[in-house]
Structure 1
Amino acid sequence: MITYPILKKGATIGVTAPSSGVPEELHHIVERAVSRLNAEGYEVICSEIVWTDVKTRSASAKKRAEDFQRMMEDENIDLIIPPWGGELLIETLEHIDFEKIHPKWVMGYSDTSMLLLAITLKTGIATAHGTNLVDLRGEYSDKTTAMWRNVLATQKGNSIVQYSSEKFQKEWHHENPSPMIFHLTEETSWKSVAGGSVTMSGRLLGGCIDIVRHMIGTPFGDVKTFRSSFTDGEPIIWYFENCNMKTTDLRRTLVQMKLAGWFDGCAGIMFGRSPANTPVDDYLIEDVYQDLYGDIKVPVLYDIDCGHIPPQITLINGSFAEVEVEDGKGIVKQTFI
């Protein structure tokens, strides 16, 4: 059985930095996000390691793990949101005692997605792949991003429906800040390799594929045991987003996942829009998706609202999802069972 935390009104949010911290010149964006959340009625507690960043790390691996562990065991903290991702969260995993963590929401993406996936696979506690703290500093949120509150407040046994965005952000314009942070200018269109309408259902798992691929073969990436222990062997819908990899590296990673058994019992795979996917020779990202479809013969969707090209819907690792795509529009219904 999957364990679902619930976000209560007036919740206390803990902010720690299990990967990168925030350099001094950017402290103001965290302070602004904290101020916005306080104004909404949340109480926000920031760890001291949030405010430091040396050699891409907020602190040593052990200190980062201890700080996260402390917040997970603190009954007064209801939700943990790191300021953002980073590079070397993987160093912390061996220092976390997953058996002692209390069920509560942890939300984020990028490097944080490794921590989210590890928690769900190891413990059966649902985790939230969604917005980072710094992206909540705007005067208001677009309706896709803003759904994180409703999703995390969903009661066990109930369902929550999210829809594909109307527009997405092609590139940042930091010199021209938007009241909602993002500059949503491009028409969103979810695509399918096979074309036509698509429906699929299964347990959601995923994250930033550059990061979570390094869990393969470790005690933190045991998908087979997760399926037998927490889902009665139900099929998996994987969602991924590619931050940095070229097409050939992405292809190698997907083949490795298949050979490692990650796609056993797979009901479908979804890929977020990507700032990477750089072709090698004439091997395009569409070729990667087509090759994957040929390998595993399940629906492959791409350009969904997930990852480093905002906005993104809030995807819950461990939830039972029903996904429908037709004419470029997507619907994701997640049921907390």
Structure 2
Amino acid sequence: MKYPLLEPGATIGITASSSGVKPELHDLLHQTSNRLRTQGFNVIYGDTVWNQHKSTSAPALVRASEFNEMMLDDDINIIIPPWGGELLIEILEYVDFEHIPMKWILGYSDISLLLLAITLKTGIATAHGTNVMDLRGEFSDPTTAMWLPTLSTRTGEAIRQHSSLNYQKEWNFNDPSPSIFHLTEPTFWKIISQASVNIQGRLLGGCIDVIRHVIGTPYGDVQYFQQTYIHNEPILWYLENCELSTTDLRRTLVQMKLAGWFEHCSGIMFGRSEANQPFDGYTVEDVYTELSNELKLPIIYDIDCGHLPPQNTLINGAWAEVHVEADGTASVTQYFRP
């Protein structure tokens, strides 16, 4: 595994590989760049960021070309898209995977598909965490703020993050928060069939809604990644559900199992989700219990990951030790080891 390094005074490239920003929201972009510059960063916006039409910022080839250009631009040190979207999968065939440099890419939601594909194909670590729009506040909550020290961790070093105290259940745009999020609900990491748990493994994951679509493609070859880059060390999956129904979540997890994604796996972690509603009495806890019994693996859920912020910054490819206590508190220690 290879890990980029974020240095002080870095230049952030903002490109919309999925959805861009409509004109009525451009002020949020200006707020974001102003805030980042006060923190010592430089900011470069791509042309795609300022547009949004029919579910994307631009045609797939345009989005991919801008991403490739920013990745190869030595003056840009990290890429953080404005947010996710719907159709990032369209750009994968145009991404220049053969010339991916050592540069952090940070994001979640639809962006997690790009993150996973890059790590699987190149062995370069990518960062699942906050989008750039959520860094425009006067300050960041302690969980979100860990993106910076995490991406500043050097190869061979380790960094520990903790579960949040509270999470945001819903957006309240009529009452803006200095830290962007309204963290009102107590956080409690849960475990299937155990009181506490310790799990170790190489982190991989993302938004299950989108990463499932590369199963069986050149962009989702988990076995190649295991054999080539982590030498068959166990994988610790983290997954978050944005919009799948409970039954569709179950179908997708079965597909992942049948495709071999859970071979050499040490455990699975699931983020909080508003989509986890019962279907005909069938609950998401039923899904997790069935999967745990089938795979004989520990399953942790309601972790700080996904569309109910805040989020831990999870590094695809890093070795992680996850400890969850019976009281719902947790720690994630990530080792940036080759």
- Given the two structures, how large is their TM-score scaled by the length of structure 1? 0.99
2:13 corresponds to which letter in structure 1?
G
Tell me the residue number matched to 1:316. 315
Q: Cα offset for 1:280?
A: 1.2
Structure 1 position 307, deviation (Å): 0.4
Partner of 2:108: 109
Offset of 1:164 from its aligned partner?
0.2
Alpha-carbon distance, 1:279 to partner:
1.7
The within-5 A match list for 1:1-337 is 2-326=1-325, 327-337=327-337
Partner SS for 1:87: coil
CA–CA separation in structure 1 for the residues paired with 2:11 and 2:177: 27
Secondary structure of 2:198's counterpart equals: strand
Q: Hey, what's the Cα distance between the residues in 1 that align with 2:34 and 2:274? A: 30
Matched residue type, 1:328? G
TM-score, normalised to structure 2, is 0.99
Q: CA offsets, 1:55-77, max 9 Å, x none?
A: 01111100100000001111111
Separation in 1 of the partners of 2:297 and 2:323? 14
Contact 1:245 1:278 (C-alpha < 8 Å) held by counterparts: no
Distance 1:47 1:294 in 2: 47
Q: What SS does the corresponding residue of 2:31 show, helix, strand or coil? A: helix
Secondary structure of the structure 2 residue equivalent to 1:324:
strand
1:281-335: CA deviations, max 9, x gaps?
0001110111110110111000000000000000000000000001201110000
Query: Matched residues in 1 for 2:24 and 2:272: separation?
Result: 29
The code of the aligned residue for 2:54 comes to K
2 CA distance for matches of 1:31 and 1:253? Answer: 39
Q: Deviations over 1:19-71 (max 9, x none)?
A: 01100001111111111001100000000110001101111100100000001
Aligned residue for 1:140, secondary structure, equals: coil
C-alpha deviation, 1:103, in angstroms = 1.1
Structure 1: any 5+ residue segments left out of the alignment? none
CA positional deviation for 1:278: 2.2
Structure 1 residue 101 displacement after superposition:
1.6
Residue deviations 1:118-152 (CA, integer Å, cap 9, x gap): 00000000000000011001111000000000000
Q: Which letter does structure 2 place at the counterpart of 1:330?
A: A
Post-superposition shift, 1:275?
Answer: 1.6
**Structure 1 counterpart of 2:123, one-letter code:** G
Deviation of 1:175 after TM superposition, in Å, equals: 0.5
Q: CA deviation at 1:17?
A: 0.5
Structure 2: gaps of 5 or more residues: none
Cα offsets for 1:204-235 (capped at 9, x unmatched): 00000001000100100000000000001000
- Count of residues in Structure 1 that have an aligned counterpart in Structure 2: 336
Which is worse superposed, 275-284 or 209-218?
Answer: 275-284
Query: Cα RMSD between the aligned structures?
Result: 0.6
What is the rounded CA distance, in whole Å, between the counterparts of 2:73 and 2:225 in structure 1?
26
CA shift for structure 1 position 195: 2.3
Write out the 4+ residue segments of structure 1 that deviate beyond 2 Å after TM superposition.
none
Task: Provide the C-alpha distance between the structure 1 equivalents of 2:258 and 2:294, rounded to a whole number of angstroms.
Answer: 11
Counterpart code for 1:151 = T
Q: 2 CA distance for matches of 1:310 and 1:325?
A: 19
Identity of aligned residues (%): 61
Partner SS for 1:253: helix
Residues 208, 243 of structure 1: 8 Å contact kept = yes
* Amino acid corresponding to residue 226 of structure 1 in structure 2: F
